[in-house]
Amino acid sequence: TNKYKEHHKQKAWCNSHLRKAGTQIENIEEDFRDGLKLMLLLEVISGERLAKPERGKMRVHKISNVNKALDFIASKGVKLVSIGAEEIVDGNAKMTLGMIWTIILRFAIQDISVEETSAKEGLLLWCQRKTAPYKNVNIQNFHISWKDGLGFCALIHRHRPELIDYGKLRKDDPMTNLNTAFDVAEKYLDIPKMLDAEDIVGTARPDEKAIMTYVSSFYHAFSGAQKAETAANRICKVLAVNQENEQLMEDYEKLASDLLEWIRRTIPWLENRMPENTMQAMQQKLEDFRDYRRLHKPPKVQEKCQLEINFNTLQTKLRLSNRPAFMPSEGKMVSDINNAWGNLEGAEKGYEEWLLNEIRRLERLDHLAEKFRQKAAIHEAWTEGKEDMLQKRDYETASLSEIKALLKKHEAFESDLAAHQDRVEQIAAIAQELNELDYYDSPSVNARCQRICDQWDALGALTQKRSEALQRTEKLLETIDQLYLEFAKRAAPFNNWMEGAMEDLQDTFIVHTIEEIQGLSTAHEQFKATLPEADKERQAILGIHNEIAKIVQTYHVNMAGTNPYTTINPQEINAKWDKVRQLVPQRDQALIEEHARQQNNERLRRQFANQANVIGPWIQNKMEEIGRISIEMHGTLEDQLTHLRQYEKSIVNYKPKIDQLEGDHQLIQEALIFDNKHTNYTMEHIRVGWEQLLTTIARTINEIENQILTRDAKGISQEQLNEFRASFNHFDRDHSGTLGAEEFKACLISLGFDIANDAQGENEFSRIMSIVDPNRMGIVTFQAFIDFMSRETADTDTADQVMASFKVLAGDKNYILADELRRELPPDQADYCIARMAPYTGPDGVPGALDYMSFSTALYGESDL
């Protein structure tokens, strides 16, 4: 079956070409045996004439014809392997079919060329390009890519779209697609039906040679259309080249015209040599020229270069396309443009040189003008106010020192003036140079220079005039200055004497004794004896001042100032002298009054001293007696208490004498008496002693009362108390009423306490000290000593005893109720306990239960209450 199909396909291909020669074949093996139709087929498909065939019927004639055909095939570069003329003449079907396939490959497929590919690859590329726009078509080979028939339909539709309605085709209907393509190709394209639709659909991999042969028929069928397309492309290409050349010509003409017009406009601007007056204007011209060189000219350079490139390119294209050379319009040749450009650059170079020369000239002028302005400004600033200064008549009111200072200042000014002579000459020289260089603003420069020269002459004349006036005034003021100096030398000590005298006469003296006031009176009398001599000195000083006034009036000196050596003037001297004379009698009266006051103060001192010298010793004696009473142990504590209270009453009865002394002290204070040589006692001493006396008697009475309370509470006998007192007094060697730590320790040892001299003994003594001296003051009072001794020797209540008593009231319970407390204790004491007892927290407690145990320990300081 396959052999038959192969035979049929090749027969159809051969007949498609033999029809052009007016013949057909029925059987490939039989019809090609004589070689005649084989040679005809090769002439049709190659377009060439083969050697003349043999027309005989003999075998040799047939072999000769077949060899001619095979030689022609070999001449086309085809190698025929194992195919000989005898096999063809003998009707060998395999050899004949192989030969036909070789012919198909060489003449139907091998000549196909697409983008430098050939044969199979070229044909495949041609198919891919033609079918690329169609959906569902993807040609990758010559077998399965054609199974759905859409590839064949796409090739037909691409070249003859009117033959197939491609939009109605479906990929899932390959039979319809294949038959449609085969029928249309055979009917309208004269391509024989070499393939069978059922064979292609029913085969997993269709025959590649058959499909390639059939597709090559499409390529050759459409090659005519391809040639037309190529011809159209060639015409379009020629026209495009011509149009491009014409556009290049137009572009050249326009670009040349624009460039020449720009050169024509630019050259007059560059040839303009009209100078500007200011550097700013010339710099603007230079900036414009720089903009021209930097911004405007570079694009034109580029245009000129591009114009030459375009011209050369155009001429080359015209030459390559066999066109006549381009001849630009008159005056627009490249040489014309180069000549115009050369003129532009010549003008440009001359313009730049002119600009730089002008800028250098203006720079020189501006430099000179600026130098002139700076020097003129400096000179004018220096001269500002100088004429007014030289015309001032300040020397008429100046002092000698000021005149000398003005002379020094004027000499310095003269030196400065001479130094400025050079600047004035430089200003004139610069102005002359500006005139010679034709500076545009020369009139204003000349006017300013003339003003400076005129002012300079005026300053010289004023300087000489002022120098003469200053020297004349200096001589007059030196004479006056000598008189001023003499006046100051004599007036100053005299003025100091008067001020000291006034200060002494007005001094508020403070004296405390008769002797002091008598000394002041004696000194005052000695002062009054010096007044006549002082008056003579005053008259001599005033005479010096009168001589100064005479000189001023004679020589018309304007004395605006005062004496530079002193601020003292005659009016002040006279005023102070008058004041001294007024103060002398006032001082006399003040001394008399003070003498009387001191006599009264002496009487008050003696009155206070008489009483204080009695009261002071009395208080001291009473203090000593109370101390002895508190130490001595005569009788019982009650007898001592009675004795002390009687003693206290006698002390209180002494109070009127203290009050009388307070009255005398008040009189002394009102008289501002601060010392009293008649007594060592002051009122403060008396008050402190009196207060200590009252405090001591009260404290002593309180100690006896506390001893009685301690004795009664602790059950201490009178003998024990006496023993404690005797021991305490024995070790209280300074009679201060207190014992130090070591004294207290010795006292305890004397009373039988075992305090060893080791660490245990020290700890025990520290415990005792914390009891008797809780504030850590380092002393032990007798009361603290008695409390400690009573605690150590007496039978006292303990926390356990109180706790046992509460347990009785509670009915032997570990807690107590508020009702039980109110029932057994007085109301205030019951409330006291209820307020301070903590709630009972034991397991046997009931609501409202109170903890009497912690309360009992707190009473004795063993826990917090």
pLDDT in tens, 7-57: 777 777 788 778 878 888 888 778 888 888 888 888 888 788 888 888 878
C-beta atoms surrounding 475 within 10 Å? 10
What's residue 839's pLDDT? Answer: 93
Single-letter amino acid code for the residue at 125: L
Q: Is residue 587 included in any domain, yes or no?
A: no
- Does position 194 have pLDDT exceeding 70, yes or no? yes
**Within this chain, do residues 696 and 718 fall inside the same structural domain, yes or no?**
no
Q: Is residue 585 included in any domain, yes or no?
A: no
**d(C-alpha 439, C-alpha 446), whole Å:** 11
Q: Is residue 252 included in any domain, yes or no?
A: yes
User: b/e string for 235-266 if b means 16 or more Cβ within 10 A?
Assistant: eeeeeeeeeebeebbeebeebbeebbebbeeb
Instruction: Dig out the tokens for 693 from the structure.
Output: 């006396």
Beta bridge partners of 739: 780
**Within this chain, do residues 475 and 556 fall inside the same structural domain, yes or no?**
yes
Sorted by sequence, the CB contacts under 8 Å of residue 453 that are 6+ apart come out as 424, 428
Q: Is residue 586 included in any domain, yes or no?
A: no
Question: What is the domain-level CATH number for residue 81?
Answer: 1.10.418.10
Contact yes or no for 221/114 (Cβ under 8 A): no
Contact yes or no for 360/432 (Cβ under 8 A): no
Q: Is residue 70 included in any domain, yes or no?
A: yes
**DSSP 8-state symbol, 275:** -
What's residue 184's pLDDT? Answer: 92
Domain that holds residue 638: 599-709
**Pick from 413, 257, 404: nearest CA to 337:** 257
What's residue 170's pLDDT? Answer: 92
What's residue 767's pLDDT? Answer: 83
Residue 490 three-state SS: helix
Grade residue 117 by pLDDT with cuts at 50, 70 and 90: low
- Does position 107 have pLDDT exceeding 80, yes or no? no
**Within this chain, do residues 529 and 678 fall inside the same structural domain, yes or no?**
no
Grade residue 861 by pLDDT with cuts at 50, 70 and 90: low
Grade residue 109 by pLDDT with cuts at 50, 70 and 90: low
Instruction: Dig out the tokens for 762 from the structure.
Output: 């020290």
C-beta atoms surrounding 10 within 10 Å? 23
C-alpha of 303 from chain center: 54
- Helix (H) or strand (E) holding 9, with range, is helix 2-18
C-beta atoms surrounding 128 within 10 Å? 16
**Within this chain, do residues 1 and 121 fall inside the same structural domain, yes or no?**
yes
Q: Which of 141-155, 314-328, 508-522 is modeled with the greatest confidence? A: 141-155
- Does position 180 have pLDDT exceeding 90, yes or no? yes
**What is the average per-residue pLDDT within 406-433?**
86
Q: Is residue 497 included in any domain, yes or no?
A: yes
**d(C-alpha 647, C-alpha 257), whole Å:** 150
Report how many domains make up the chain: 6
* 316 vs 786, more confident: 316
What's residue 138's pLDDT? Answer: 93
DSSP 300-366: HHHHHHHHHHHHHHHHHHHHHTTPPPP-PPTT-SHHHHHHHHHHHHHHHHHHHHHHHHHHHHHHHHH
What's residue 114's pLDDT? Answer: 54
**Within this chain, do residues 654 and 615 fall inside the same structural domain, yes or no?**
yes
pLDDT in tens, 595-631: 888 888 888 888 888 998 999 899 888 887 777 776 6
Q: Is residue 848 included in any domain, yes or no?
A: yes
What's residue 630's pLDDT? Answer: 64
**Pick from 447, 385, 446, 459: nearest CA to 420:** 459
Q: Is residue 689 included in any domain, yes or no?
A: yes
Count of residues making up the chain: 865
**Within this chain, do residues 427 and 558 fall inside the same structural domain, yes or no?**
yes
Segment among 152-166, 520-534, 744-758 with least mean pLDDT = 744-758
**Within this chain, do residues 564 and 639 fall inside the same structural domain, yes or no?**
no
**Within this chain, do residues 269 and 320 fall inside the same structural domain, yes or no?**
yes
Q: Which of 709, 726, 751 is the last residue of a domain?
A: 709
Determine phi and psi for 742, rounding to 5 degrees: -70, -40
pLDDT in tens, 201-244: 888 898 888 888 888 888 888 876 655 555 555 666 767 777 78
C-alpha of 796 from chain center: 82
- Does position 794 have pLDDT exceeding 60, yes or no? no
Question: What is the domain-level CATH number for residue 809?
Answer: 1.10.238.10
- Does position 162 have pLDDT exceeding 90, yes or no? yes
Residue 838 three-state SS: strand
C-beta atoms surrounding 842 within 10 Å? 11
What's residue 796's pLDDT? Answer: 53
Q: Which of 738, 764, 788 is the last residue of a domain?
A: 788
Question: What is the domain-level CATH number for residue 608?
Answer: 1.20.58.60
Indicate the Cα dihedral angle 488, 490, 495, 497, nearest 10°: 150
CA–CA–CA angle 639, 626, 791 (5° rounding): 60
Grade residue 586 by pLDDT with cuts at 50, 70 and 90: confident
Residue % of the chain over a pLDDT of 90: 9
Query: Please, what is the average pLDDT of the chain?
Result: 82
* 462 vs 272, more confident: 462
**Within this chain, do residues 724 and 701 fall inside the same structural domain, yes or no?**
no
What's residue 141's pLDDT? Answer: 92
DSSP H helical segments within 676-717, as ranges?
683-714
Instruction: Dig out the tokens for 609 from the structure.
Output: 């001293």
What's residue 293's pLDDT? Answer: 79
- Helix (H) or strand (E) holding 851, with range, is strand 850-851
**d(C-alpha 810, C-alpha 824), whole Å:** 10
**Within this chain, do residues 530 and 653 fall inside the same structural domain, yes or no?**
no
**Within this chain, do residues 530 and 391 fall inside the same structural domain, yes or no?**
yes
**Within this chain, do residues 486 and 442 fall inside the same structural domain, yes or no?**
yes
Q: Which of 364, 393, 421 is the last residue of a domain?
A: 364
